[in-house]
Structure 1
Amino acid sequence: MENTALILIDLQNDYFGSFEGAKWQLYETELAAANALKLLNKFREKNMKIVHVRHEFDMENAPFFAPNSQGAKIHNTLTPKENESQVLKHEVNSFKGTNLKEILDDSNITNVIIVGAMSFMCVDSVTRAASDFGYNCFVAHDACTTKDLEFNGIKIPAPMAHAAFMAGLEFAFAKVHTTNEILELL
C-alpha cells in the first residue's frame, strides 16, 4: 500500500499495568502494544510514514496523562525515533487542535493504519474523523485496547466494549483486521 501512514494513538505509560504508578490501566495493553510494535517495526523497515500521537490533559488535577508526567510519556517499547512525526493533543480526536492532517497531507497520505488506545474513545474518534477527511482507514484491532465500561447500570467487560466499537468502525468507517493481516497488505 503506497502513501500509507501508521498512526499510533496514546500508547502512553499511564495505560500500562507494567508501568509503576499507572493511573488508568487498560485491558491487556502490553499485548496491544506488542502488536503495534510489529507494525511500527515494519514501517521503520520500509521507511514509511509514522505518526505518534500523545495525549496530555490541559487541566490541573488530570485523572491521567498529566502534563510533563512520566505517565504521559509514550511507553518505552514504542519510543519515537527522531525522523518520526509526533503530535501532542489535548482532545479526544487527534485531528482537533493539532497538525495531524497537515502532517498526513504533506506526505500525500491516502491510507492510514490506526492502532492504540482507547478503542471506545480516541481510536474510535480518530478513525471516524480520518474517514470523514477521505483517508482509507485500517484499524489493527489486536493492536488496540480499552477498559471495562459501565452505562446506566450495565457493566461492559473490556473485550465486549472493544468488539462493539470495532464492529461499528468496520460497518462504515474502516477495514478492521488483525495485525498480521495488515502486515500482509504492506
Structure 2
Amino acid sequence: MTRALIVIDVQESFRARPLWETTSDLKIADRVNRLVRLFRRANEQVVWVLHSEPGTGDVFDPALGHVRLMEELERADGEPLIHKTSHNAFTTTNLQQLLTERGITDLTVCGIRTEQCVETTTRLAADLGYRVTVAIDATATNPIPHRDAPAGRSVAELLADPRTLPAEEVIRRTEYALAGRFATIATVDQLEAAAGLAA
C-alpha cells in the first residue's frame, strides 16, 4: 500500500448553503464513490477529511450537525476520518503522520471546493514530496464573485453579475495552475481505465 485517496470536504455543510444550487456537480458523491471503490478494490488507503469551524454558528460549525459525510458516502471500518480547520488537509491535522506511518507516497485528491481546499491540499502535498493526482471531475465548486462585489448578495444577484467567474472556469483555471507543477490531472474514467476497469 503506497497510494491513498484523500476525499476532501464532501460533506452536508455545502448542501445547507443557498449557494449549493450553483455547484458545478450536484452529484459529486457519485464520482467520489467510484474512486472509493477503485481504491478499496486495490486494497489502498482511503482517507476522509471534513472541514470544521467550531463556534462560528454557520454550516461548518459541528454544533449545527452538517459536518458529516454526504449521505451517499459510506466510510468503511478502519478508514481514517480527520477534521481540519484550515483550507488544506495537512496544517491542522495529523494527515502527514498518518500517511508516513502507512508508507504512502502517492495521493489522489478529490472533493469540494476545487480551487480552495482541493487545490491548497494538492499544492502543499506536492511541496511535501508526495506524487499527487487530482481527479478533476470528482471535484466541485461554485461561481466566485468579483473581489469588489458587495457582500451578502443573493444567489440570483451573484449569477447576474457579469464579473462573476463561472464554476466551470474556476475548475479550468485550477487545472492549468496545477498540471505539470503540482499534480497530474486525470478523470475518474482515466483512473479506472489505468486500473483495468471499465468506466
TM-score by length of 1: 0.89
**Is the contact between residue 93 and residue 122 of structure 1 (CA under 8 Å) also seen in structure 2?**
yes
What is the deviation of 1:22? Answer: 4.2
Partner amino acid, structure 2, of 1:46:
A
Name the CA distance, whole Å, in 2 between partners of 1:24 and 1:132.
32
Measured against aligned partners, the alpha-carbon deviations of 1:130-150 in whole angstroms (never above 9, x if no partner) come to 000000000011000000002
**Is the contact between residue 111 and residue 135 of structure 1 (CA under 8 Å) also seen in structure 2?**
yes
Larger radius of gyration: 2
Name the CA distance, whole Å, in 2 between partners of 1:69 and 1:29.
24
Measured against aligned partners, the alpha-carbon deviations of 1:29-67 in whole angstroms (never above 9, x if no partner) come to 4332211110101112222101000011133223x2111
Bigger mean CA offset, 7-16 vs 140-149: 7-16
Corresponding residue for 1:185? 194
Residue number among 44, 49, 52 corresponding to 2:40 in the alignment: 44
Give % identity: 26
Bigger mean CA offset, 21-30 vs 64-73: 21-30
Q: Number of residues paired by the alignment? A: 180
- Mapping 1:1-186, distance limit 5 Å: 3-16=2-15, 21-22=16-17, 24-25=19-20, 27-62=23-58, 64-153=59-148, 154-186=163-195
Consecutive unaligned residues in structure 1, runs of 5 or more: none
Report the structure, 1 or 2, having the larger strand content: 1
Distance 1:75 1:67, change over 3 A: same
The alignment's C-alpha RMSD in Å is: 1.7
Name the CA distance, whole Å, in 1 between partners of 2:89 and 2:18.
21
**Is the contact between residue 15 and residue 29 of structure 1 (CA under 8 Å) also seen in structure 2?**
no
TM-score by length of 2: 0.84
**Is the contact between residue 14 and residue 24 of structure 1 (CA under 8 Å) also seen in structure 2?**
no
Name the CA distance, whole Å, in 2 between partners of 1:93 and 1:54.
11
Name the CA distance, whole Å, in 2 between partners of 1:91 and 1:175.
24
